[in-house]
């Protein structure tokens, strides 16, 4: 029994020795000077709510934040748009923060035409070009979201022809080179605050 207890103590100590550096390293990745790199956003030219076409490559040179919503969504999407609006307000508090662009991709492009997105943007007082809502063909949008941003989309037909779309509630931070530098849980207030800080920091890179 004594040997077993001693073994358990040493296993606990070993676990702590391994875990503490790992936790410190994870925290450094989130708050240190170097953010992780998750690959480049693919090039795509998508119709925007203001009647223009936005080529994602044209965002090179800008730091931008993306989210993924659809206008018929009654649950998570209004909350995400509320948080994007709050994020814009917080960023507007500084001259640097006002340079950060905001891009909302519709994951229901068959319904969310530029005209529909224009009404949605007006409802939220979202002004282009600072904050733009994008549509496109279903295949192109799925390619950008799944292959590019590495986030899942699942369309689930419901009764009476209603479509439920399951999608990520993450906000994505993209640097001036078009590279993804972070994913942030929109339901976590601290994560959203960190997103704003990280976005401003990337402006200096």
What would the pLDDT profile of 25-71 be if each residue is shown by its tens digit?
333 334 445 899 999 999 999 999 999 999 999 999 999 999 999 99
Residue, of 130 and 153, whose pLDDT is higher: 130
Residue 159's pLDDT is what?
58
Average pLDDT, the chain: 84
Residue 15's pLDDT is what?
34
User: Contact at 8 Å (CB) between 55 and 45?
Assistant: yes
In order, the DSSP letters of 104-161 are: EEES-TTT--HHHHHHHHHHTTPPTTTEEEE---HHHHHIIIIIIS---EEEEE-GGG
What three-state secondary structure class fits 56? helix
Residue 158's pLDDT is what?
59
Residue with tokens 């989210």: 67
Residue 198 has pLDDT above 80, yes or no: yes
């Amino acid at each position: 029994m004594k040997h077993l207890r001693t073994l358990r103590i040493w296993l606990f100590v070993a676990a702590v020795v391994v875990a503490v550096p790992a936790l410190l390293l994870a925290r450094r990745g989130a708050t240190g000077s170097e953010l992780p790199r998750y690959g480049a956003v693919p090039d795509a030219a998508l119709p925007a709510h203001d009647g223009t076409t936005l080529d994602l490559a044209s965002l090179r040179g800008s730091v931008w934040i993306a989210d993924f919503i659809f206008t018929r969504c009654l649950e998570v999407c209004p909350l995400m748009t509320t948080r994007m609006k709050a994020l814009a307000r917080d960023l507007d508090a500084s001259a640097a923060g006002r340079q950060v662009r905001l891009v909302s991709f519709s994951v229901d492009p068959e319904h969310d035409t530029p005209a529909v997105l224009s009404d949605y943007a007006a409802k939220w007082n979202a002004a282009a070009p600072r904050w733009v809502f994008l549509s496109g063909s279903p295949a192109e949008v799925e390619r950008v979201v799944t292959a590019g941003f590495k986030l899942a989309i699942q369309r689930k037909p419901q009764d009476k022809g209603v479509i439920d779309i399951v999608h990520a509630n993450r906000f994505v931070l993209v640097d001036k080179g078009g590279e993804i530098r972070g994913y942030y849980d929109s339901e976590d207030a601290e994560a959203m605050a960190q997103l704003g800080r990280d976005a401003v920091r990337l402006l200096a890179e």
